[in-house]
Copies of this chain bind each other. A is one copy, B any other.
Amino acid sequence: MEYAVGIDIGGTLIKTVACDRKGTVLYRDMFETRDMQPAEAETAKVSYWVDSMNMQIDKIRKKLHAEASCVGIAAPGVVDERGSSTASLPGKLKGIEGLVWSEVLKGHYPVEMLNDAHAFLLGESWIGCAEGKKNAAMITLGTGVGGAVMMDGKLVRGTIGRAGHIGHICIDPFGMKSICNAPGGLEWFIGDYSIGERTGGRYRSTRNLVEDYKRGKSFAASVWLYSVRALACGIVSVINLIDPEVVILGGGMTEAGEALFGPLSEMLDEFEWRPGGHTVRILKACLGEHGGAIGAARNVFDRLSGSRRK
C-alpha cells in the first residue's frame, strides 16, 4: 500500500493523516502541541519536534502495516524555496524555524514542507469544496488568521513564499501592528489571540464572546460585529485584488456557524462589488480540522510526481 503521511503543526494541536494518491484518508489523529517555555534550550525544542514526528510516523506505520512513501508537513510561516524547511516564523513554535525535516526524520523519507494555510487550500482543492475551482482564496480563523491563494489551478507561492498572508493585510492605518508589522492587520481584528485586548479584558476567548452575542448582549455584539465587519473588508480586498471564484473560511472560529456567516453575508451585500450581479461564493471549509494535514500529504505526492508548485 502506498501512502503519504500528512502532518499539520499548529500552536494548539498537531493533526496527522495518512492518504493514498486518490485522496482517500486512511488514518487520522490529533494531539496537543506541547507548550514550550522560552527558557528551554534550543536543542530541547528541536528534539521535541523531531521525536514527536518520528513517533507519529511510527504509529501510523504500525496501524497501516506498511511504511509511508513520503511525508508532507505543514506549519505556519514562510517556507523556503525548495520546500525543505520553514524559513521564517515570527514568534511561534520555537525550534521549527530552519529545521530541515528530511535530515532529521528517522526513515529518511522524501519530505515536503508547506505553509499550513496553503496546505489547507490545497487539501480543499483536492478533495474538498474548492475541487475543480481554478481561482480560490482561503482564510483560516483561529488563534491567528492565515490564508492562501490559488490562481489558474496553482497555489500562489509568490516571490519568497509570503503570498496568502491575508491575516496581515491592513484594515486600519492607525491600528495595532500585527506580528508582521502590518498596521491594523486583519488578524488583530478577529484572531483569538487579541480577544483580551479588544474587549478590555472582558473576554478570554472568541467562543465566549460569540455565546454572549447570541444571547443578545450589546457589548459582545459590538465587538463581534466589528470583527466580522473587518473580515468582510478583508474579503472585499481579496476579491477586488485577485478576483477568486470562491473564498473558503476554515479554522475553529467557523464553528460559530450562522453567528459568523449570517452577518458576514449581510455585510458583503453592502461592500462587495458585483459587476453584472456576479457574487463570489463564501464557503465553510469541508475538510474540517484535518484539511491542512491532507493538503500536506497531497503536496508531497505532487513533489514525487515532479509537479512541484512554484
Contacts and interface: CB of A to CB of B under 8 A. Distances in A.
Interface of A: 78, 87-88, 135, 147, 149, 151-152, 156-166, 168-173, 177, 180-184, 226, 229-230, 232-234, 236-245, 270-273, 275-276, 278, 280, 310
Given A271-B183, A275-B160, A241 B242 contact: yes
Given A159-B135, A173-B172, A182-B236, A164 B276 contact: no
21 contacts: A87-B275, A159-B244, A159-B245, A160-B243, A163-B241, A163-B243, A165-B240, A165-B273, A166-B241, A168-B236, A169-B236, A170-B233, A171-B173, A177-B271, A180-B240, A181-B270, A181-B273, A182-B233, A182-B240, A237-B237, A241-B242
Contacts of A272: 181
Contact of A160 (B78, B182, B276): B276
CB-based closest 4 A-B pairs: A158-B243, A88-B275, A170-B233, A169-B237
Given A78-B275, A166-B240, A182-B240, 11 more contacts: A158-B243, A160-B276, A168-B273, A169-B169, A169-B241, A170-B271, A171-B172, A173-B230, A180-B240, A182-B233, A182-B236
A172 B177 CA distance: 15
Contacts of A135: 158-159
Contact of A275 (B151, B162, B230, B238): B162
Most B CB atoms within 10 A — which of A164, A165, A229, A273? Answer: A273
Nearest to A238: B241
A156 B151 contact: yes
A168 B243 CA distance: 12
Contact of A165 (B168, B183, B241): B241
A117 to B, nearest CB: 12
A79 to B, nearest CB: 11
Contacts of A172: 171-173
Contacts of A238: 241
Contacts of A241: 147, 149, 163-166, 169, 237-238, 241-242
B237 A152 contact: no
A182 B237 contact: yes
A278 B230 contact: no
A232 B169 CA distance: 11
A81 to B, nearest CB: 11
A77 to B, nearest CB: 8
Contacts of A184: 233
